[in-house]
Amino acid sequence: MNIFYAPPSQINNGYAELLDQEAIHASKVMRAREGDKLTIVDGEGGHYRGIIRRITKKSVQVEIEDAQHHSRPKPHLVLGMGIIKKRDRLEFAVEKAIELGAAQICLFRSEHTIKENVRMDRLESLAISAMKQSLQAHLSTIEVYHSLDVMLESVFADNILVAHEKVDEAKGDINYKSVRNSERTLLLVGPEGGFSESEIRDLTDKGGELVSLGPNRLRAETAAIAFMSQFL
């Protein structure tokens, strides 16, 4: 099923309009024609089926035949991840986390992060394609924070789980009940060099629970995927 993205601002009076990459994808890549049916998500839970009424160079106009609203899936998971050095690995981790249900991705600089900046344009288009590919109707948000502290101050989460390879496995079980009962759970994964001792102290002082992802030392991107997969 071909699924396209149009933000709410492009959906009015029973019509949805595909623009930019989405219009190109429909008309050029999928060679869609007037009369063809397609599905559109608006990134805020809106899920529409419609029929193409007009194709121009820059847009595809779709008449909506059926409209539904999908509520935000529970639990509401936020993945907080140190900015890892290799861009393709970071993008891979972000894409998989979104497919696995991360509603928000918060990238942060920390004591051991090497890289300073990320290609936000690439991450945002990757979030749209991951939403469409995984047939979700909610678009995950991606933010970058200057430090772990700034991220913790800015992100609302009533439950914080910290993946830490040094925690004693026996004590590092995930408290699934706390995740189910929380509004928003923040799952934290460190960069390649992990969290520093003082960051771990700080995180536990702020109520973060240290969690083991098993006996093996995982790469950060693997840990992000393993962590998200615990809540499927």
- Tokens in use for 123? 């991450």
Q: Does 79 bind ligand SAH (CB under 6 A)?
A: no
Q: Does 18 bind ligand SAH (CB under 6 A)?
A: no
Closest approach, Cβ 159 to ligand SAH, in A, equals 17
Q: How many CA atoms lie within 13 A of 221 on its CB side?
A: 13
β-strands 15-19, 11-12: how paired? Answer: antiparallel
What part of residues 186-215 is at the interface with ligand SAH (CB under 6 A)? 189-190, 192-195, 212-214
Closest approach, Cβ 82 to ligand SAH, in A, equals 7
Q: Does 76 bind ligand SAH (CB under 6 A)?
A: no
Residue type, 95: E
Q: How many residues at the interface with ligand SAH, by CB under 6 A?
A: 17
β-strands 102-108, 37-41: how paired? Answer: unpaired
Nearer to ligand SAH, 79 or 126 (CB): 79
Q: What dihedral do alpha carbons 140, 101, 89, 122 form, nearest 10°?
A: -20
Nearer to ligand SAH, 55 or 97 (CB): 97
> What are φ and ψ of residue 52, in 5° steps?
-70, 125
3-15: string of b/e by CB count within 10 Å (b at 16+)? bbbbbeebbeeee
What part of residues 124-163 is at the interface with ligand SAH (CB under 6 A)? 163
Nearer to ligand SAH, 45 or 193 (CB): 193
Residues found near ligand SAH in the complex (CB under 6 A): 163-165, 189-190, 192-195, 212-214, 216-218, 220, 223
